[in-house]
């Protein structure tokens, strides 16, 4: 595979996913003003459904490391929400019957992620 072409497909997909995420947040923000972060929650759930569907399609059609995967799975879903990538990685670990690693990955990602957000905030504030 051509690396430059792969990067281009990931970038195009990422741009599309990022704009889609922005539009969902913008649209929901106009009509929903509660403290629960509904736009992010909805984006994460949609992204997980999309990445699962696209991955299933890719496996079913033996697409492997194709430009389809770079454009839609890595690019669009990754740009739309990294939570979908996080979910996809854990799903793959569970499919391989590796149950301890996803538990550790989930716990560390959530707790260390929040901790580093606080540290970054306090360092700059």
Query: Residue 31, Cβ neighbours under 10 Å: how many?
Result: 7
Q: Determine if residue 29 is labeled as part of a ligand binding site.
A: no
Q: Is 71 within 8 Å of 5 (Cβ atoms)?
A: no
How confident is the model at residue 34, as a pLDDT? 84
Closest listed residue to residue 25, CA positions, set 44, 50, 53, 49 = 44
d(CA 49, CA 76): 13
How confident is the model at residue 71, as a pLDDT? 96
How confident is the model at residue 102, as a pLDDT? 94
- According to DSSP, residue 69 is labeled I
As a whole number, mean pLDDT of residues 13-17 equals 97
**Which residues have C-beta within 8 Å of that of residue 75, sequence separation ≥ 6?**
9, 10, 11, 12, 13, 14, 15, 16, 17
What's the full length of the chain, in residues? 125
Average pLDDT, the chain: 93
Share of the chain above pLDDT 90, in %: 85
- Indicate the number of domains in the chain: 1
- pLDDT at residue 1 is higher than 90: no
**Which residues have C-beta within 8 Å of that of residue 93, sequence separation ≥ 6?**
99, 101, 102, 105
Range of the domain at 119: 3-124
- pLDDT at residue 80 is higher than 90: yes
How confident is the model at residue 115, as a pLDDT? 94
Share of the chain above pLDDT 70, in %: 99
Helix (H, G, I), strand (E, B) or coil at 63: coil
Q: Is 81 within 8 Å of 25 (Cβ atoms)?
A: no
How confident is the model at residue 62, as a pLDDT? 92
Q: Determine if residue 120 is labeled as part of a ligand binding site.
A: no
């Amino acid at each position: 595979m051509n690396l430059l072409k792969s990067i281009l497909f990931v970038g195009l997909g990422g741009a599309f996913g990022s704009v889609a995420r922005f539009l969902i947040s913008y649209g929901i923000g106009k009509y929903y003003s509660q403290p629960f972060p509904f736009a992010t929650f909805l984006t994460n759930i949609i992204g997980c459904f999309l990445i699962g569907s696209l991955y299933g399609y890719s496996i079913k059609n033996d697409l492997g490391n194709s430009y389809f995967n770079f454009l839609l799975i890595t690019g669009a879903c990754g740009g739309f929400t990294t939570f979908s990538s996080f979910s996809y990685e854990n799903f793959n670990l569970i499919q391989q019957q590796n149950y301890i690693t996803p538990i550790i990955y989930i716990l560390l990602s959530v707790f260390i992620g929040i901790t580093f957000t606080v540290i970054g905030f306090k360092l700059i504030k």
